[in-house]
Amino acid sequence: MKASKSKAGNPLLFRPEQHSVRLNESARRMCMPEIPAELFLDGLRKLVAIDAAWIPPQEGSALYIRPLMYATDESIGVRQSDTYKFIIMCLPVGPYYNQPVKLKADEHYVRAVVGGVGEAKTAGNYAASLLPARNARAEGYDQVMWLDAIHHKFVQEVGTMNIFFVIDGEVVTPATDGAILKGITRACAIQLLEDKGHKVVERPVTIDELVLASQNGTLQEVFGTGTAAVVSPVSLIGYKDTRIELDPDSFTIAPMIKDTINKLRTQEVEDKFHWLEEVI
């Protein structure tokens, strides 16, 4: 998660309790112990208070907070560990992507399959993504847009972001199906959009539908959401020989959500959903 600075100069945590819930959901899937929410949140508050001076003041920058758990048994074997170390790392970060992103819809490699560990925030998911991401970069893309593992057709998500499309005026995002990470920024974006009167449809989205919508002019916006990237407009999706090109300068919905989340983080707009916690 990220911490910004409140107007009073104190650390501001963004939805820490949601991160605690997801950490424990991931831990359950990996046979790791759960961290009691209060223990996690209290430790987090104390750490962020100590590290408050590391919160960068620049717009779009923040203190990135990475809770991490790993096995520490002194043995080798395919079994769960009896002992674990739980740590929280903090590091100041600037904006993740400062340009619109170019995505490659990968037709060969996959990230996750229903029944697997795609919904867990576990390191193996990221390890498995390194080679396809490197290949995509060699072809001029920034990230992979993952398609489902069985049909290679349904869009899942991107590197470290969930993905949204605006098709013919309607905001659409792939429904979480067990193989997609349930992004906290995704949930915020849905809630903010609904609050502003936009209907958000969570449903399966195929790459063919996107190609068609691009060809008939109804694909208006594509953007990713995530803690690191906040909201990142997409300027290109490459799929086989097709290039879906977008003009992020014409986007209205993505900048609106980005602006709202950034302003929430700097307390320039009212926190009406109580997403922020000031550490005093």
- Scanning 4-12, 68-76, 210-218, 220-228 for contacts with ligand PLP by CB under 6 A, the matching segment is 220-228
Whether 230 and 220 have beta carbons less than 8 Å apart is answered as no
Among residues 83, 82, 87, 44, the alpha carbon closest in space to that of 63 is found at 44
From the CB of 197, what's the least distance to ligand PLP, in Å?
23
From the CB of 218, what's the least distance to ligand PLP, in Å?
26
Cβ neighbours, 10 Å, residue 174: 23
Task: Please say which residue, 220 or 225, places its beta carbon nearer to ligand PLP.
Answer: 225
Binding mask 25-44 for ligand PLP (x = CB under 6 A): --------------------
Task: Please say which residue, 218 or 255, places its beta carbon nearer to ligand PLP.
Answer: 255
Cβ neighbours, 10 Å, residue 199: 10
From the CB of 186, what's the least distance to ligand PLP, in Å?
6
Report the Cα–Cα distance between both ends of the chain, in Å, rounded: 18
Is residue 227 a contact point for ligand PLP (CB under 6 A)? yes
**CA quadruple 234, 250, 97, 172: dihedral, nearest 10:** -40
Binding mask 143-182 for ligand PLP (x = CB under 6 A): --------------x--xxx------------------x-
- Kindly list the distances between the CA atom of residue 262 and the CA atoms of 4, 18, 93, 202, 265, in Å, as whole numbers in the listed order: 10, 18, 14, 24, 5
From the CB of 91, what's the least distance to ligand PLP, in Å?
15
The secondary structure of the chain in percent helix, strand, coil, rounded to multiples of 5, reads 30, 30, 40
Task: Please say which residue, 214 or 225, places its beta carbon nearer to ligand PLP.
Answer: 225
Task: Please say which residue, 16 or 183, places its beta carbon nearer to ligand PLP.
Answer: 183
From the CB of 72, what's the least distance to ligand PLP, in Å?
24
Task: Please say which residue, 5 or 19, places its beta carbon nearer to ligand PLP.
Answer: 19
From the CB of 107, what's the least distance to ligand PLP, in Å?
19
Among residues 193, 214, 211, the alpha carbon closest in space to that of 260 is found at 193
From the CB of 157, what's the least distance to ligand PLP, in Å?
5
Among residues 2, 5, 1, the alpha carbon closest in space to that of 53 is found at 5
Is residue 235 a contact point for ligand PLP (CB under 6 A)? no
Q: Which of residues 177-206 bind ligand PLP (CB under 6 A)?
A: 181, 183-186
Among residues 67, 43, 48, 36, the alpha carbon closest in space to that of 4 is found at 48
Task: Please say which residue, 214 or 253, places its beta carbon nearer to ligand PLP.
Answer: 253
Contacts of 122 (CB under 8 A, 6+ apart): 26, 29, 30
From the CB of 125, what's the least distance to ligand PLP, in Å?
6
The amino acid that residue 57 corresponds to is P
Longest CA span, the chain: 59
Which of 100, 132, 174, 226 forms a contact with ligand PLP (CB under 6 A)?
A: 226
Which residues would be at the binding site for ligand PLP (CB under 6 A)?
A: 157, 160-162, 181, 183-186, 225-227
